[in-house]
Structure 1
Amino acid sequence: MALTLKGTTIFLALNLVLGLWASQAECRKPPEEASLRESHEQWMARHGRTYKDNAEKEQRLKIYKENLEYVKKFNSEGNQTFKLSLNRFADLTNEEFDYTRNGGLMVSSLSRPSRVNNSSIYDQTLFSSGGAPSSIDWRQKGAVTNVRDQGHSCGSCWAHATVAAVEGLTKLKTGKLPLLSEQQLVDCIINNQNTRGCKGGSPVDAFGYIEQNGGITGEWNYPYVGKDGICDQNRASQSAAKINGYALVPNNNEYALMNAVSKQPVAAFVSSRGKEVQFYSGGVFTGNCDPSTLDHVVAIVGYGTSKDGKKYWLIKNSWSSHWGENGYMRLERNSGIPEGRCGIAVDASYPTA
């Protein structure tokens, strides 16, 4: 009886060990997959990313893997003037990124000539030679506020670029740098063909609104919420900065654009399409974009030349300080492309005092 019991005990113990080994074998992942999942988990924790269920997590993991491989391959190639990194957009396809982070109303559909027939003018003085310094950074002159984040569901880049330009002009006029309200522009420019809040817009419309409204209020009075709202006329009437109008930079002319930026920050349409823009992390961007479709608006807050001799535009973006060079990009200047790298010279404008 004791022998039988002992044998039974050994048999059960053996089955238990074999079952445990089998279970571990089923759960064990290949080293590459385990490393990928660990990398994704760390990225999620770093950026506060969560998913509604395991199905969505697996879908995002697949996209994360594709983006990771793309970034690694790009950075391994030689003779690059810029680098990529897995930033906060690493689990988005490029199509999703374009849809959620831009707001230039796909402005290739906006006709620039038709917009000239209003109160704005081309600034002809920008064609004159001489006077512009070889480099300028308006941040160093206290004319640029901190980088903001337009959010993942509001295409308000146009409002952020407008505000950056008006903030810079106000500093130059008054000596004081205000923090102005993008949300006022999102809420209050209504019944307009080209500008529709979080669905996209144009700085020219925003400059026109600020002029006609008698100014724009401060961020403290009309804070940004990243979604369309009803215009609060009472708050909108409490001006913190005023402009007298706006001017257009002659298009497809980087020399004229440099003259304009040498005087003050300028708002400009660009193309932000492609993974190279999505994952840009530093250096002078000489990469791929589609200048035939201008879908984003940025503020040009300077220009210069890198240590290795690459001329660039200094761009303030509205995708938070966790993108690019702490929220900024150095975009190739004088690339030999008539419209400029990523179309930067096609449609630029600025407020006037």
Structure 2
Amino acid sequence: MASNFFLKNITVVLLLFSILSLYPFIVTSRNLKELSMLERHENWMVHHGRVYKDDIEKEHRFKTFKENVEFIESFNKNGTQRYKLAVNKYADLTTEEFTTSFMGLDTSLLSQQESTATTTSFKYDSVTEVPNSMDWRKRGSVTGVKDQGVCGCCWAFSAAAAIEGAYQIANNELISLSEQQLLDCSTQNKGCEGGLMTVAYDFLLQNNGGGITTETNYPYEEAQNVCKTEQPAAVTINGYEVVPSDESSLLKAVVNQPISVGIAANDEFHMYGSGIYDGSCNSRLNHAVTVIGYGTSEEDGTKYWIVKNSWGSDWGEEGYMRIARDVGVDGGHCGIAKVASFPTA
């Protein structure tokens, strides 16, 4: 009996000793992981030129960075999605911060708009034959990817991109146009607080004879400032149309020119890295982009739209995104066909 009691006690002691001996290893492992994340954050700060005002902000940003990185790595490790997320220049921002500063589509303006849109039937309704793919970049109709910075004026970039494309197709000349002119002067929009592409078109038609100046003449400043009137028009539009809110109509339009659209972007959009986005969407349209083409994946036959964004060329697929097409949802995936429009040049 005494022998059994002694053996049991020895076993318990050895077990406790084993657990205690592992504790420093567990703690050290956690510490190393934290140190590794701190180092990644420091390297990320250097790479993106990020500087914080004090240690309190840095600590807050590190916490957000760590949470985002862990989410991204966990998501990508799953390996079942058609798209990947990336630790990009927005990795230290919360979803709320990003949405407030970088998304600015305001569909409430639809009800307030003094529209000059063409009221006849859809211009491209009679289109019956469409190619299997289209990419307006390959036809020289798309300027380089731009960066709106910390200003919710995606609507101005989407409108300018659509005008650039329409003018190039009509005149065989690609001109980079001024988003800042739209930001400063289209006062029915809300500047960095949001806007709508058709309101921007209306401004040009009602006040400038349809004319917009070049980006060189009126460069982007990442803030709304006093409108500089009497700017020379480099490009003139003579109207615009609203596309019926279905993907079939959007396809007919994109075959003919780049199209301004709104999307319901969720928290994964600002972390998007590559692939065909078929993930969840926001409950409302909140971001403006430009559809510049479409195609089909050679890997699994998934159809997609090619979208030009305005978050810089270091976001997504060199500034572009592919969004799932023909998914059987009214208005398309993330509502991409719900508020589509295009200028006529």
Alignment of 1:295-334 (within 5 A): 295-308=286-299, 309-334=301-326
Q: Matched residues in 2 for 1:129 and 1:166: separation?
A: 21
Q: Matched residues in 2 for 1:208 and 1:99: separation?
A: 25
The yes-or-no answer on 1:55 pairing with 2:46 is no
- 1:109-166, CA deviations, whole angstroms, 9 ceiling, x for partnerless residues? 3446x759644336434343522212100000000000000011x1110000000000
The yes-or-no answer on 1:352 pairing with 2:339 is no
- 1:297-345, CA deviations, whole angstroms, 9 ceiling, x for partnerless residues? 0011001111121111100000001110000000001111112111101
Q: Matched residues in 2 for 1:31 and 1:122: separation?
A: 66
What is the aligned partner in structure 2 of residue 260 from structure 1?
A: 253
The yes-or-no answer on 1:179 pairing with 2:176 is yes
What is the aligned partner in structure 2 of residue 204 from structure 1?
A: 198
- Taking structure 1 as the reference length, the TM-score comes to 0.85
Q: Matched residues in 1 for 2:115 and 2:168: separation?
A: 30
What is the aligned partner in structure 2 of residue 79 from structure 1?
A: 80
The yes-or-no answer on 1:242 pairing with 2:236 is yes
Amino acid at match of 1:322: D
Instruction: Indicate conservation of the 8 Å contact 2:117/2:242, yes or no.
Output: no
- 1:52-83, CA deviations, whole angstroms, 9 ceiling, x for partnerless residues? 11111111111111001100110011321000
Q: What is the DSSP-based 3-state SS (H/G/I as helix, E as strand, rest coil) of the residue aligned with 1:126?
A: coil
Instruction: Indicate conservation of the 8 Å contact 1:123/1:250, yes or no.
Output: no
Q: Structure 1, unaligned stretches of length 5 or more? A: 1-27
- Root-mean-square deviation (Å): 1.7
Instruction: Indicate conservation of the 8 Å contact 2:109/2:195, yes or no.
Output: no
Amino acid at match of 1:145: T
Q: What is the DSSP-based 3-state SS (H/G/I as helix, E as strand, rest coil) of the residue aligned with 1:337?
A: coil
Q: How many residue pairs align between the two structures? A: 314
Amino acid at match of 2:170: K
Instruction: Indicate conservation of the 8 Å contact 1:180/1:216, yes or no.
Output: yes
Q: What is the DSSP-based 3-state SS (H/G/I as helix, E as strand, rest coil) of the residue aligned with 1:91?
A: coil
- When residues 185 and 203 of structure 1 are mapped into structure 2, their CA distance, relative to the original with a 3 A threshold, is same
The yes-or-no answer on 1:217 pairing with 2:217 is no
Q: Structure 2, unaligned stretches of length 5 or more? A: 1-28
Q: Matched residues in 1 for 2:315 and 2:327: separation?
A: 23
Instruction: Indicate conservation of the 8 Å contact 1:246/1:351, yes or no.
Output: yes
What is the aligned partner in structure 2 of residue 288 from structure 1?
A: 280
What is the aligned partner in structure 2 of residue 156 from structure 1?
A: 153
- When residues 29 and 338 of structure 1 are mapped into structure 2, their CA distance, relative to the original with a 3 A threshold, is closer
What is the aligned partner in structure 2 of residue 338 from structure 1?
A: 330
Match of 2:164 among 164, 167, 172: 167
Q: Matched residues in 2 for 1:60 and 1:45: separation?
A: 14
Instruction: Indicate conservation of the 8 Å contact 1:122/1:250, yes or no.
Output: no
Instruction: Indicate conservation of the 8 Å contact 1:284/1:332, yes or no.
Output: yes
Q: Matched residues in 1 for 2:306 and 2:66: separation?
A: 31
Q: Matched residues in 1 for 2:110 and 2:343: separation?
A: 20
The yes-or-no answer on 1:269 pairing with 2:262 is yes
Q: What is the DSSP-based 3-state SS (H/G/I as helix, E as strand, rest coil) of the residue aligned with 1:121?
A: coil
Amino acid at match of 1:175: N
Instruction: Indicate conservation of the 8 Å contact 1:218/1:240, yes or no.
Output: yes
Q: Which moved more, 1:115-124 or 1:141-150?
A: 115-124
Match of 1:141 among 139, 157, 160: 139
- 1:243-302, CA deviations, whole angstroms, 9 ceiling, x for partnerless residues? 110000001x1010000000000000111222x211101000001111x31111001100
Q: What is the DSSP-based 3-state SS (H/G/I as helix, E as strand, rest coil) of the residue aligned with 1:263?
A: coil
> What percent identity do the matched residue pairs reach?
45
- When residues 111 and 166 of structure 1 are mapped into structure 2, their CA distance, relative to the original with a 3 A threshold, is closer
Q: Matched residues in 2 for 1:330 and 1:294: separation?
A: 17
Q: Which moved more, 1:91-100 or 1:127-136?
A: 127-136
Amino acid at match of 1:169: A
TM-superposed deviation, 1:196: 1.5
What is the aligned partner in structure 1 of residue 19 from structure 2?
A: none
Instruction: Indicate conservation of the 8 Å contact 2:306/2:322, yes or no.
Output: yes
- When residues 65 and 29 of structure 1 are mapped into structure 2, their CA distance, relative to the original with a 3 A threshold, is same
What is the aligned partner in structure 2 of residue 128 from structure 1?
A: 126
Q: What is the DSSP-based 3-state SS (H/G/I as helix, E as strand, rest coil) of the residue aligned with 1:30?
A: helix
Q: Matched residues in 2 for 1:116 and 1:266: separation?
A: 21
- When residues 116 and 219 of structure 1 are mapped into structure 2, their CA distance, relative to the original with a 3 A threshold, is closer
